[in-house]
Chains A and B, each alone.
Chain A
C-alpha cells in the first residue's frame, strides 16, 4: 500500500535513481574496463597520451594487426604457467571447503543444541579468533613448520585454512541450526535414536540450504586468501593470488604488465560466475544473524 503511494515520481525519486546509477558505475566500471583492456597491448591499456587509445586499440592494431589480442592471456597461462597455479588453487579450495564444512556442521550443531555455559564461551573465543588478522598467526606457523619440515606443501596450507575458517563456519552454522526446531531431532531421539543417528537421519537431509551458503563463504575465504598462501607455499605449489603478486615483481618490463592484467581477469572470472548463480545464498549468508537479531 505504501509503495503505491510512494511510486509517484518526485524529485527525491529522481535523485535516488541517479545515485543508484552512479553507484553502479563505480561498482562495475573498473571490472568492465579491465576486462576490455586485457585484450589490448600495454601501450593502449596504459596510455599516458590519450585514454581513448584503450577503446580504439590504436597500438593493438599496429602491433598485432587485430582489434583484440590474446597476447596477455597466452603470456600468463602458457609462458608464466599460470595454469599450474589454477590447479593448485582448485585443490586447496576444494579440500578446504569440504573439510571445514564437515567439521563445521558437527561443531555448529553441537553449539546450537547445547545449553551449557561453555558452548557460549567457545562462540566468544571464536569471535576473537575470527577478528585476528591472519598474518599474525602466520608468524607463529613458520618456525615450527620449518622445524617439522612440513612447510611449502599443499596439505599444510589446507589444514591451516580450515582452522582459520572454523570460527566463521561455526558461527554461521550455529545460527542456522538454531532455526531448525529442536523438536525434530528430539522426537527422533524419543523414538530410540541416539544423537548421532538423529543428526544423521533428521538433520542432515534438511541442512543443505545453510550448508551451501556457508560453503560459498568458505570458498571465498580460501580462494581470496593471500596472507596464508603466500607465506606457507613454496614456489612450485603457489596458488593464483600469490602468483599474481609475484608476477607484479617480475613483469614490470615493457609488454609484460599485460600478463598480470590477464591473470587478474582470469582470477576474477570464477567469482563472477559464482555471484551469478548463488546471489540468493550469498545475500542470505551476509544477513544471517543481522536481521534476525
Chain B
C-alpha cells in the first residue's frame, strides 16, 4: 500500500488516538510537574491609638488573576513524585531509620496511600491471573465433555459474569455477601458471630475482591481454552492412545502443549485488565482496606474538595510506567516475531 493512501486511511483513527490518548499523557506529565499557586497575600498595617498591628489577608483578586494567567500553577519539578502522597521518600527513610525489624518497617510503609495501593494492585494482578487461567481451563475441559445439547446453554450462562458491567457485577456480589445479604447473614448465623463482616477485616476484603476478579474473568479464559480444545489435532491424540498413553498422559503431552500459546495470550489480556482494577473497590465499598492505583487517581480527582491534579498526574505517570514494564516481555516477543517473518 502506498504511503499516501495508508496515511488517508489511518488519519481519522490516528488523529483520535493522538488527540485523546497521546496528548493527554503529555498533559498528565506536565500537570504532575506543577503545583497550585500559593495564595497572594497582602500585609496591611492598621494603626490605632494603642499601636500598630500587621494583618495578613488573602488577595482574592490577585490570586484568581494569577490562576487565570497560569492555570497550570507554578513549576514544582519532581517534588510531587517524592512527597508524602506518592513515593514519600522522607517517610520511608524515616521508617527505615527508626524501625528495627523489616516487618515493622513494612507496616509503616504499607500505611502510606501510594504503597498501599501499589501492593494491592500487584497482589490482585498476580493472584487473580493464575486462578482465572486454572479455573477457565478446567471448566473448558468439563464443558468439552458435555453432551452436545447442553453445551449451548452452558456457554450462554458462563458468559454472563464477564459481560456484566464491573461496577454492577461487584454490587450484585456485594449485596449477597454483605452482613444483611444471603451469604453474609447465613455465615453469621452459622458461626453465631454478628461481627463477622467483610468490611471489618482487611484479609476478608482482599479475598472477596479477588474472588470477584476470578468470577468476572474466568469466562474469558474458559471461552479461549474451549475454542483451543476444538483444534487439538485428533490424529496425535489417537496415535498417543494407540501407543498406550493414559488419559492423564495425553492431557499432559498433547493437549497442554497445544494450548500453551493460548496461555500467553490470555495472561497478557488478564494482566492488562487486572492491573486497572477499580470499579470493584467502589462496588464493595472496600476503600478502607483495599485501594488500587486506579482508585487512588480517581479519589485524588474526585473525593477531595480541591482536585489534586498534580498528585493524580504523578500517580498516573507511575501507573503508565508500571503497565509498560508489565508489557515489555510481550512487546519484545512480538518485535522478534515480526522480524522473523521478514518484513
Contact = CB atoms under 8 A, between A and B. Distances in A.
Interface of A: 1-2, 5-6, 12-13, 16-17, 19-20, 23-24, 26-28, 30-31, 33-34, 37, 45-51, 54, 102-104, 106-107, 109-111, 113-117, 119-120, 122, 124, 126-144, 147, 159-160, 162-164, 166-167, 169-170, 195, 199, 220, 223-224, 226-227, 231, 241, 244-245, 248, 260-261, 264, 267-268, 271-272, 274-276, 279, 282-283, 286-287, 289-291, 293
Contacts of B134: none
Contact of B10 (A111, A135, A244, A287): A111
A181 to B, nearest CB: 15
Given A128-B331, A231-B302, 5 more contacts: A27-B215, A163-B19, A164-B21, A195-B1, A290-B228
B343 A20 contact: no
Contacts of B179: 48
Contacts of B313: 139-140
A30, A113, A166, A199: which has the most chain B beta carbons within 10 Å? A30
Interface residues of B, number: 108
A156 B4 CA distance: 30
Contacts of A293: 261
Contacts of A170: 13
B343 to A, nearest CB: 6
| Chief secondary structure at chain A's binding surface | helix
Contacts of A46: 175, 178, 180-181
Interface stretch (B55-63, B93-101, B102-110, B231-239): B231-239
B28 A140 contact: yes
Interface of B: 1-3, 5-6, 9-10, 12-14, 16-17, 19-21, 23-28, 31, 71-72, 135, 138-139, 141-143, 145-146, 152, 154-161, 163-168, 171-173, 175-176, 178-182, 185-186, 188, 215, 219-220, 223-224, 227-228, 231, 234, 237-238, 241, 247, 261-262, 265-266, 272, 275-276, 278-279, 282, 293-294, 297-298, 300-302, 307, 309, 312-313, 316-317, 319-320, 323-324, 326-327, 330-331, 334-335, 338, 343
B224 A290 contact: yes
